[in-house]
Structure 1
Amino acid sequence: PLRIPLQNSIIYELHVRGFTRHPSSRVTHPGTFRGVIEKIPYLQELGITAVELMPVTEFNENEVTFVNPFTGERLKNFWGYSPLSFFAPKSAYSSDLEAPLDEFRDMVKALHRAGIEVILDIVYNHTAEGGGNGPTTSFRGIDNTIYYLLDPWTRAYLNFSGCGNTCNCNHVIVRKLIMDALRWWVVDMHVDGFRFDLASILGRDMDGSVLANPPVVEMIAEDPVLADAKIIAEAWDAAGLYQVGSFSSHRRWAEWNGRFRDDVRAFLCGQPGTVPALATRIAGSSDLYQRQGRRPCNSINFVTSHDGFTLADLVSYNSKHNLANGEDNRDGDNHNLSWNSGVEGPTHSRAIQALRSRRLRTMAVILLLSQGVPMLVAGDEFGRTQQGNNNAWCQDNEISWVDWRLATKNSGQLRFFRELIRLRKAHPIFRRHDFFQMTDAVHGPEISWQGLEPGTPDWSDECRILAFLLNGAALGNEEDDDFFVMLNASRDAEARFTVPAPTREQRWVRILDTGRPAPADFVDPERADTVECGAMVLVRSMGCVVLQSMVKEAKR
């Protein structure tokens, strides 16, 4: 295993089949583990440190009964959150159907040689056996009362997963099965970590009640075989239990920070009262993770995931467009915190296209320059769209497949993401070990917030702007440059920020401006324009400007 510290990780969520299934991927073995291997040079150039693979255990893609109303085509389970086995890799993801184990291991080893870790999205909260009308393939026939949560009176399945059944994760036999599976993936298949789907179900007892200290959650964190594995919880379930910030007090457990997603989205929709929450998210979500000695890296920050709109769709649609899923648009979340920027869906308006581009890149800046661990979704870096579908679980087609032609069409956006990732990796000030302290007697505050003027933050409901100065001198042994970040979430008004002085005898240069077209939106600091202390910097609506401190040029 590579053992990359979690605080240094940049996670890239991808679907093994969808990543290379589109003809534009130009790989020899599309939709397979070998297809992922063929794309490793791209992943290296992008700069991510880990891939998070959506479910790769065996599932029945033909279990779906819904039909696309437009084509009459029977839909398939594309995502795979319906495990038939907790161990067996999906044979259809192997170019050699007789050797999926070998091909999966080859993929992991190839990624490791490239310096990229492998995190598996695993489903232990339910199985493919579904509810009472589902098939009997394993656990139901072995011992229904042990493996599933049942109503004590009616013996009906308790459905906290939204998928018909719920695994009895804290029964001693089921616990052992889960631990055996995790150890097998680490020891025999060499994976580096796990993301636990609907992980809050791991904390329920036999009657569905929430346990204070769930045995299986503690066992996973304390197991010596899993000591170096990253463990990430999706800290909610389908029955309304929401545990972001409180899933486990154990320092090893990280969480998908749904609050980060919601607060960033709300801010860049121009909603009122969002500035204080955004500042908390940028600073690492201390309100959620500072207790019990946890750190910013316990927060997995994301704006989009497989579940919901893509980043391009987030700025292009107000509402979900899921009719192709065959459920009359009833499926998928209605609470998307999205804004279409003026027109629903595709448009030829250059002004709206420019606004969408600013918003998208500004979201990327917040994601990559916040404290915590950033996660992005495959294709978001070059504008992948699902045509407004926010629940594409059953779309094994071009709605879900990554269209690699967009990497050329939107090459400027792709470059922006690469440069942002490079900036994050080059500067430890974005990857702090601990939370910000309010004051530092020697070097001044570690972070300083402001509105339009230095020293005057605006936390009012009406405020749509936020700026902050990161003090590189206060990092101790890892002394770094200062950075001054200005954000404007007004839908139509420009903002002019007065630039504070750097913390040392240095000068500011403008390295990033999402109000400018590529490649002027991200400039090498050696070639960037100098910005004088006290100058006013214009930030476009829904835009962002970042200044970096540099040593002053010697006088000649």
Structure 2
Amino acid sequence: MDSSVSTNRSPLRSAAAARRSSSGRPALPNRVVASGCGGAQFGKAQRFGAVRIATARAQSANAGKSVTEETQPTVADTKMSLKYSSGKASPLGVSQDGSGLNFAIFSQHASAVTLCIKLPTRGIQDEENAEIVEFALDCQENKTGDVWHVSVEGLPTSGVLYGYRVNGPQGWEQGHRFDSSILLLDPYAKLVSGRNYFGVDSDKPSQPFGTYDFDSSPFDWGVDYQLPNLPETDLVVYEMNVRAYTADESSGLDPAVRGSYLGFIDKIPHLLELGVNAVELLPVFEFDELEFKRYPNPRDHMVNTWGYSTINFFAPMTRYASAGGGPIAASRELKQMVKALHNAGIEVILDVVYNHTNEADDANPYVTSFRGIDNKVYYMVDPNNNAQLLNFSGCGNTLNCNHPVVMELILDSLRHWYGRAGLHGIEHMA
């Protein structure tokens, strides 16, 4: 299967009221969703959360063979041609595959999976109006076992946002929670784009997207860089929160770096004065600090500053970047912080959360990733109680860590933080 999709940026022609899904997040009208394992449609572009705009559409009866273009007057001469092929099942997430980018996601029970790509658009300040192209995957051509995959040629190698729509059985009592109106975050996304500033509330629910960066050079750890390798019996551990350490104005730091990875670096001399030789960092995985504000509750005036509300197990917390720098800056600055700590002889210990996520319970669900991709696989459910989510964590849900796919995700996350992402300086996992 091989075809091309040409996308033209078009002006807004009509208004449509966005429907709202069960997540409370705006849903796209006129979505392109493959109905089961049959004819997929490729290349429909839409304005996120508001109005559909017309672009190229592949005929569903001949997906991957013929392409029909719908043209409209454009706001710019910019044109992007995308070429797709079947792709491969491994590795999960986004990877470079020859001349294209390979997208792969696991879902055992899904009947339809649609890759949604938000293309970078010059001159558009409001990201919600940026263009989205959707690739509805064909289960005959784009599925191997329980992994859905596609390779897309012509995409930029950084700065692109992506997510998935997943449809499947609607049997609640069977443990399924599929809702194809919700755009879902890739569990294997290495970077997450959403809000850039910590705790900034809005009347619009935030939408996390996966993103990637294949353009930046590998981080320079330095030729003389080495781990402290202190004996555990000699550790003087300071458990702390990256943001809270320098967020207050009493830190004396410039407002742009308060509460950031870079702000932390400026206060390393204070740790040395205290005699600290190891820091245990509260979660630095991407988490939802606004989880208490989604519905009325006794804590809806608070933010989760600790970090125990994991959105993704691979991406660093974006809102710890200085000056709202975004996900790529967060990844780089986290490494700078680790390098500076190690150069000062201070060990780095991560407090990690693999027992639950931010997606809450069945009474107040907040679907951002795992729940909508394959609830029955990723979470423990009670077969004797309408397949309600089990809550051994006290946070609304419990990851189904005995499932081999979930177990492998956790192991992949640990490997990622320990070495393959370049964070080889993080030795201990708590």
Scaled by the length of structure 2, what TM-score is found?
A: 0.43
Larger radius of gyration: 1
Which has a greater percent of strand? 2
